[in-house]
Amino acid sequence: MTSPLNQTLAQLDPEIGGLIDREGQRQRDSLRLIASENYAPTAVMEACGSVLNNKYSEGYAGKRYYEGQEVVDEVETLAIDRLKAVFGAEHINVQPLSGSPANLAVYYAFCKPGDTIMGLSLDAGGHLTHGWSVSITGSFFNAVRYGVRESDHLIDYDEVYRLAKEHKPKLLWCGATAYPRVVDFSRFAEIAREVGSILVADIAHISGLVAGGVHPSPVGLAEVVTSTTHKSFRGPRGGMILCDAVHAKRIDRAVFPGLQGGPHNGTTAGLAVAAKLAATDDFKAYARQIVTNATALADGLMRRGFSLVSGGTDNHLILCDLTNQGVPGKVAAHALNRAGIVCNSNSVPFDKRTPFDPSGIRLGTPALTSRGMGPAEMDKVAALMHDVVSAPENEAVLSRVRGAVRELCAGFPAPGL
């Protein structure tokens, strides 16, 4: 009889194996428009599920607390070297377990409880960890928030400057989770220098676009840059911190031993693979296509009467305000999901509805781009979305759209599955 330790997942736990198979089928048959999701390449998935999962590696390459690190040290060093080449950073820490822990490490490196920090408000497109009240970052620190103009939904850099001069934050955060336009890192850097703040750029959503050269890079402008490693970068679920050499020791000590123990070595290997891919011409073409597809999807939606925050997009992300459609964001998102179009409900700037029942939906094109779809398919997606949002309770419409979604997906097989 085969030992349980040598059984496959299907043999040992068919219940979990079956659920994973179902999720794989869902990802094959759905149009995945969640802006923070993608399809990790096969090689990335292989690295993440490798024997590196078995190894514990507290510390950093050449300075570990456990023996047997010869291979792991090479893996981590290779990941760092490849990412340095892609982003042009002086120092990179690849050990954060995700984007939020990476951001918390930055706070731990530079701030004491009660220090003033400043970031984009959540309801204007910022992230929880940039000082929002329900986050530990809004509880432990004196959080000042800047926003966007009501007239055009763009970051109000004059307001940023005014607030920064008044409050002189220890950390000035730039970057967003629901902002569809290019971030002016140069302007933020000017403001930070004048008021004596450390500029931190959170590029979790756009790191693939930065690596691909279709969004300006904050490296060299911001002293510290944080990111997830999946989303548009198309790597494993993890985090990384890029910084200038002068802050390297502070950052490394904040990650370990400050916030966590040993890194996830399989994830580090997957990140090394993703970094190798990010250095290729194919990746640059993929990054350009993400933006082209987002523009095409935005145009298709606007032609069909959708109102878009800021009037369009410059990156991978689209934020739709459904107020003029007469459909709440959560109702629309649920109906779209039943029809095979997966997105998330989202607040829009100056939203009159609550975050639990917002007016908008957030869309992104990285996953559909990874499937090989282009502008023609984006227009089809816009048409299908219009059909669903126009009749969110009509099961016949949802069924018809679901069939059209399956047919569209069949022509563009999902990578990595």
Q: Which residues are catalytic?
A: 56, 58, 202, 228, 231, 237
Tokens of 121: 């408000």
Tokens of 379: 């227009």
Q: Could you give the CA distance from residue 17 to residue 14 in angstroms, rounded to a whole number?
A: 5
3-state secondary structure at position 219: strand
**CA distance from start to end of the chain:** 31
Residues with Cβ within 8 Å of residue 206, at least 6 apart in sequence = 175, 183, 215, 232, 315, 316
3-state secondary structure at position 228: strand
3-state secondary structure at position 119: strand
Could you identify the residue written with the tokens 């329900």?
134
Q: What are phi and psi of 88, to 5 degrees?
A: 75, 30
Q: What is the 3-state secondary structure (H, E, C) of 271-284?
A: HHHHHHHHCCHHHH
Q: Read off the amino acid at residue 234.
A: R
Q: Exposure pattern of 407-416 as b/e (b: 16+ CB <10 Å)? A: ebbeeeebbb
Per the CB < 8 A criterion, the answer to whether 366 and 231 are in contact is yes
Q: Which sign, positive or negative, has the C-alpha torsion 280, 286, 288, 291?
A: negative
Q: Read off the amino acid at residue 231.
A: K
Q: Helix %, strand %, coil % for the chain, to 5?
A: 50, 15, 35
Q: Could you give the CA distance from residue 97 to residue 229 in angstroms, rounded to a whole number?
A: 10
Distance of CA 68 to the CA centre of its chain: 34
Tokens of 64: 């570990």
